[in-house]
Amino acid sequence: MPVKVKLLRYTNDAELLCGAAALTSTRSGTPSEILRKLDPETARQVIKRVTGYGHGSVIEHASFTFSIEGVSRAMTHQLVRHRIASYTQQSQRYVAYDMLESYVTPPSIENDGEAKKLYDQALASISRVYEALLKMKIPKEDARFILPNAAKTNIIVTMNARELRHFFNLRCCARAQWEMREVATEMLRQAKKAAPALFENAGPTCVELGYCVEGKMKPAECNLEEIRQRFKKL
């Protein structure tokens, strides 16, 4: 199933704004004057230089809002662990579980006939009981107790560019769960298109640092050069 991620809105002139923020610390003019006079190429160079010193706060001035659609509750439970962000998620108290659009199937199950049969049977059974509970006038907020991690959901998330880069470090990594990784990688692709200077060299930690920090947990299949090339082309 292709992930559905849409970059809905982002800060106007995000690179100019962050460049002006960076220059505010070293120039005598006001932020508004600096912003008015700043050209895109200078802004890009300044962002690169200042974030290279580790002053990541200058890119906190740019925010990005994504719609993440039809993903599992298992995925959003991980997403909302990232605290420097704003979220609004579809409520299972108000919106009934949709029998037709109901659940996400992991590829490992989708590609295994026997596992898929068992999985679909279990999910169909949950759906039947859920419907029956609603017909018995059990409130949605109680009927939802039987819904699985696989249940589909929609969520809107806003993060600033610094938090997004941190999020990409952790969640574009091969160690991240597959659905989380797909969503994070698509968010990076769209954010990078909108503001390339803010997301230059962004991706899993190995892409930024040039080495893996996972130690013994490093997945055997990881090939640093291949990963770097893949994220460079995003």
Ligand X SMILES: Cc1cc2nc3c(=O)[nH]c(=O)nc-3n(C[C@H](O)[C@H](O)[C@H](O)COP(=O)(O)OP(=O)(O)OC[C@H]3O[C@@H](n4cnc5c(N)ncnc54)[C@H](O)[C@@H]3O)c2cc1C
Give residues in contact with ligand X (CB under 6 A).
Answer: 81-84, 163, 166, 170-171, 175-176
- Smallest separation (angstroms) from ligand X to the CB of 206: 13
Distance CA 168, CA 5 (A): 15
Q: Can you tell me which residue has the tokens 């939802």?
A: 144
Instruction: Name the catalytic one among 44, 171, 189, 230.
Output: 171
Whose CA is closest to 103, among 56, 164, 148? Answer: 148
Q: Can you tell me which residue has the tokens 């912003």?
A: 35
- Smallest separation (angstroms) from ligand X to the CB of 121: 29
- How many other C-beta atoms lie within 10 A of the C-beta of residue 50? 21
- Which amino acid, residue 44? R
* Rounded-to-5 percentages of helix, strand, coil across the chain: 55, 15, 30
- Smallest separation (angstroms) from ligand X to the CB of 78: 7
Distance CA 156, CA 67 (A): 5
Q: In a 10 Å sphere around its CB, with 0-12 CB exposed, 13-18 middle and 19+ buried, how is residue 139 labelled? A: exposed
CB closer to ligand X, 124 vs 209: 209
- Smallest separation (angstroms) from ligand X to the CB of 170: 4
CB closer to ligand X, 116 vs 166: 166
CB closer to ligand X, 82 vs 189: 82
Clarify whether 73 is annotated catalytic: no
CB closer to ligand X, 87 vs 134: 87
Whose CA is closest to 41, among 192, 161, 202, 197? Answer: 197
Residues facing residue 89 across a β-bridge: 155
- Smallest separation (angstroms) from ligand X to the CB of 176: 5
CB closer to ligand X, 107 vs 219: 219
Q: CB within 8 A of 51, min separation 6: which ones?
A: 58, 59
Residue positions annotated with a catalytic role: 171
